Amino acid sequence: MAAPAVASTAVSPRAEPSGPLPLERLFDNRAISDDARPGRADFDGAGNSLSAQDLKAAGWTPGQDLDIDAARLRWPERRPGQPDNVRADGQQVKLHGRGNAVSFLVAASSPDVSGAEVTGTGTIRYEDGSASSYRLRAPDWRGGPLSTKAVALPHLNSAEGGQQTEKAKLYAVTVPADTRRKVRSVTLPADPGPRADLHVFAASVREDTRGWTGSWSTSTAGYPSVGAWQDQTVRLVVHTSAGGPRARIRLENTFASAPVTIGAASIAVQAEGAAARRDPVPLRFGGRSEVTIPAGAQAFSDPVGFDVPADTNLLVSLHLPGPVAAAPLHSQALQTSYLSEGGSGDRTGERDGGTFTGSLKTWPYLTGIDVQGGPGSVVALGDSITDGVKSTPGANRRWPDVLARRLREQSAGGGEVPAYGVLNHGISANRVVTDRYPGDGISTDTGGVSAQHRLERDVLAQTGAQTVVLFEGVNDVRWGATAEEVIQGMRNIAERARERGLRVVGATVTPCGGYKDCTQDVDRRRRAVNDFVRDSGGAFDAVLDFDRVLRDPERPERMLPVYDSGDHLHPGDAGLKALGESVELRALVPRR
């Protein structure tokens, strides 16, 4: 991966007044109280605090390791009423590791103004004596957005008023680090002033994923009811892009308010339906067959010797001891997966699939499969067109599928572009500017939080990410966003991705004339967005003109009929194939 665009200067260790300390030795604020003794903590200077009981219910227990956005953060091992966080004021924190980001578990607080984001500038120091600056943004614990929170708690404790029913939020925020250097310490931002504090609960380096390639991935798009699963096994069918000799899976409890336990997991190559070609290979998590994932966190399985073929369907089975009433999931799987009967227990090791009598059209919990080796991955960040809506179910004819096959074929033929894994992070109904799903609570809406709000999870934290293709905007202009708002959102996404060393490829928005809400005004705004994409002034490293590929030259506000699925918004199989085949493969190769 190209080195991130961070300012680097020589720093003499002798210039530091004292050596950096572990974060817990700097704790100077009490954020967490027992519900029975709320006066023992004062997070915001007004006597308010987080509920220890709510944190426990979310699975955030003292000393708990929390894997969030591919970084491991340890929740403070402190009893209620003890110092458990530091108010940032230039402290030097000891850290070790090499990666493209430093992750902080943070929240801002103010005694009189909730909702204000607190920002500050700090420094990352490296083992070779160099340093880079960063800008940290901490949303307010009471007024900040739900869509980017790591966890939301249902109450806050008050020394005067007892427990209040109000959402309290904590955030995992990352800043870019130089992947070429090993981190030695970070200097926290200075005190933001008398009206607010920036609190840091945990910090760590997000470790480099070189040596691994993302082969398959999807986005959690909502948190709907699943009708209550109890002691059942889900067997999920997914399609690989890249292959490799070892594998691991990623599970996520995104948007949840409570932990979930996975009793067992396995991986296999699909034979037919729910049947595996060979006995499924059991997966472990930290050496154990069972893993409990706290609310808002994720879990990677231990790497296992399992030969993952490219361009092949896999079966990933998860035993859910339950009960599970709602789950984070991707709604438009366009693939039939399987579910065993209630009470049938752990069926992850079953080969013939005979007990999987139920079916699913979604992907719950599972968000990624990584393979060892390979050149890294290309991430497609998009909406329903990238998601493959209106393509043939089960046929893997989404445009990222087409792209993955082209990469493999040209690489096998001696082509100069590596056979990258291709990760599909399209969400049907997704937007660049605003959230469709609010990011918290059980909901039937599975349109996801905005591309800007899910960028960290769905792009920056993806295994081996080298390049991102941004192909969104039609839902924004259809649902009232101005062209200027969409353009600014695209600029923000491109800037953040390039800070992390990713190559950023922009795609023009395809036509939707004839669809029920694609008016002339919508088309005018779409064209304005496309004018920016084609001539972005350097915001994008390359451009894919998907509009030109699909549009009817005689009626440029519409798709060519041969590419139209019939609804005039979504291309069918032929249109998606045309998009995938139009990609200039060299445009995906990052700068070195």
Q: Find, among 413, 415, 411, 446, the residue nearest to 241 by Cα.
A: 411
Per-residue pLDDT for 14 more than 70?
no
- pTM attached to this predicted model: 0.95
For the segment 276-297, the average pLDDT, to the nearest whole number, is: 98
| Residue 591: per-residue pLDDT | 77
pLDDT in tens, 41-91: 999 999 999 999 999 999 999 999 999 999 999 999 999 999 999 999 999
Q: What are phi and psi of 126, to 5 degrees?
A: -115, 165
Q: Find, among 259, 107, 213, 245, the residue nearest to 169 by Cα.
A: 107
Rounded distance between C-alpha atoms, residue 533 and residue 486, angstroms = 11
Terminus-to-terminus CA distance in the chain, angstroms? 7
pLDDT in tens, 406-416: 999 999 999 99
Per-residue pLDDT for 187 more than 60?
yes
Per-residue pLDDT for 149 more than 60?
yes
Q: Find, among 362, 434, 436, 350, the residue nearest to 393 by Cα.
A: 362
Rounded distance between C-alpha atoms, residue 543 and residue 541, angstroms = 7
Binned at pLDDT 50, 70 and 90, residue 31 comes out as very high
Domain covering 375-592: architecture: 3-Layer(aba) Sandwich (3.40)
Q: Which long-range contacts (CB under 8 A, 24 or more apart) does 444-451 make?
A: 444/222, 444/224, 445/222, 446/221, 446/222, 446/224, 446/329, 446/330, 446/331, 446/332, 447/221, 447/222, 448/219, 448/220, 448/221, 448/222, 449/147, 449/148, 450/147, 450/489, 451/381, 451/489, 451/493
| Residue 267: per-residue pLDDT | 98
Rounded distance between C-alpha atoms, residue 522 and residue 518, angstroms = 6
Per-residue pLDDT for 6 more than 50?
no
> Mean pLDDT, the chain, as a whole number?
95
CA-only gyration radius of the chain, Å: 24
Rounded distance between C-alpha atoms, residue 527 and residue 533, angstroms = 10
| Residue 4: per-residue pLDDT | 45
| Residue 113: per-residue pLDDT | 67
* Cβ-based neighbours of 467, under 8 Å, separated by 6 or more: 378, 379, 420, 502, 503, 504, 505, 588, 589, 590
Binned at pLDDT 50, 70 and 90, residue 592 comes out as low
| Residue 8: per-residue pLDDT | 34
For the segment 161-168, the average pLDDT, to the nearest whole number, is: 94
SS3 breakdown of the chain: % helix, strand, coil, rounded to 5?
15, 35, 45
Rounded distance between C-alpha atoms, residue 546 and residue 544, angstroms = 6
pLDDT in tens, 88-115: 999 999 999 999 999 999 999 987 766 7
Per-residue pLDDT for 259 more than 80?
yes
